[in-house]
Structure formats: C-alpha cells, structure tokens
C-alpha cells in the first residue's frame, strides 16, 4: 500500500448522510476476490443510468479531481463488505472525511490504505461551505501530527487514530508487512527462548 504522511489535495464533496456500502459498491459487482478494478464501479448507480450513461450532475462525473472524499455523517454503514474500501482505494481516494463512520467500514478502510478522518460536525459543514465558495479549495492532512488543515481559511482540527493503524499507514504496511518489519526482533526472541529452554535441562 502507498505510504500516507502528508497529503495536500482538492476535495471531492459528497454531502449525503448515511451512505451505505451498497451505494459505495453495488452488490452485483462483488464477484471478484481481487482488489483491483473496483474503482470503475464506485458509486455506480449514482454515476450512471440504466443505459450506462453518466449523470452529469453527480460529483464524480464533473469534479473528479482530488484524493480526499468528504462525505456526510454516518459514512460506510450497512453490510461489512471490504469491497467498499477496495473501490475507494482503486478509484484513487486515500482519505475519507466525515463526522461519523460505521466501525466495520472504518477498520476496513484502515486495513486497505485509506485514512478515515472523523471531524466535528461543525468542521464538516465548514468544509462543504468553503467548497461552495471555491471549488478548488485544498485540504492538507498531516498524519504524523494527526492534523487536518485548510490553510486558505486558517482552519485546523486534530483527529484521532489508533496508534497501531497510524504506524501501518505511515509505513505503507499490511499485517504481513508489519510482521516482516519485526523479523529481527522475532528471530532474537526465538534464539533467546531456545537458550533459556536449554538452561532448564
């Protein structure tokens, strides 16, 4: 996975509450078990009509720039499908900002290289309002400092993240990568344990 430390990007606003995982990636696209290729089906039923023609009013069809998705409250509710995180990542999103996330989606996002940032409802509304005034507004995400900042407006807010998952994202790790990073420590522990076991006899 890509490392996340400092991200500065335009935003893609989706000011809708209670966006569930079936809206993020419809169930009919869940046949594949590999992570790649789901980006083209992200929000598919909101992006395209029954003839697969794009709705020009939908934000991903007219404001596609930006690696930061800003969504309404309670993002990622519904079923626990990991494909929702895969689709967001494959499309190019590395950060999702909301005032509340469903727990399972939040964990799936962190496990798949996406940083879910929970901000206050006031901060979320400020972001949406600023976008209405300036479609090219940028947000800076500083993961080591756990800080979200809109420099143009002089606004900033800290966010929380599990320290273990923070380390994952900063280093671009998954579970296997993390274990491999501890290889020398594990080998040293095994040697020490074997030596102590010999002393018992």
107-152 per-position pLDDT tens digit: 999 999 999 999 999 999 999 999 999 999 999 999 999 999 999 9
Domain assignment present for residue 94? The answer is yes
Domain assignment present for residue 178? The answer is no
Query: pLDDT per residue over 184-193, tens digit each?
Result: 665 565 666 6
Domain assignment present for residue 193? The answer is no
In 3D space, the residue among 10, 69, 74 whose CA is nearest the CA of residue 43 turns out to be 69
Domain assignment present for residue 184? The answer is no
Question: Do 4 and 170 touch, CB atoms closer than 8 A?
Answer: yes
Question: Do 13 and 70 touch, CB atoms closer than 8 A?
Answer: yes
Domain assignment present for residue 74? The answer is yes
Domain assignment present for residue 139? The answer is yes
Residue 131: CATH number of its domain: 3.20.19.10
Count of helices and strands (H, E) across the chain: 9, 7
pLDDT confidence bin for 21, thresholds 50/70/90 = very high
If one counts the domains in the chain, the total is 1
Domain assignment present for residue 57? The answer is yes
Whole domain around residue 148: which residue ranges?
6-173
pTM for this entry: 0.86
Domain assignment present for residue 190? The answer is no
């Amino acid at each position: 996975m890509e490392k996340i430390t400092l991200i500065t990007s335009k935003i893609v606003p989706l000011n809708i509450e209670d966006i569930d995982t079936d809206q993020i990636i419809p169930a009919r696209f869940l046949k594949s078990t590999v992570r790649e290729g789901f980006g083209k089906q992200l929000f598919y039923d909101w992006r395209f009509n029954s003839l697969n023609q794009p709705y020009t009013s939908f934000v991903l069809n007219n404001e596609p720039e930006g690696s930061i998705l800003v969504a309404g409250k309670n993002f990622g509710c519904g079923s626990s499908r990991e494909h929702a995180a895969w689709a967001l990542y494959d499309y190019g999103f590395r950060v999702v900002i909301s005032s509340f996330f469903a727990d399972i989606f939040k964990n799936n996002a962190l496990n798949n290289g996406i940083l879910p940032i929970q901000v206050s409802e006031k901060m979320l509304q400020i972001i949406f309002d600023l976008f209405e005034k300036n479609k090219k507004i940028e947000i800076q995400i500083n993961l080591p400092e756990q800080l979200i900042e809109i420099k143009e407006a002089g606004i900033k807010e800290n966010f929380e993240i599990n320290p273990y998952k923070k380390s994952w994202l900063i280093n671009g790790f998954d579970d296997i990568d993390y274990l491999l990073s501890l290889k020398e420590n594990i080998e040293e522990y095994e040697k020490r344990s074997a030596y102590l076991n010999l002393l018992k006899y």
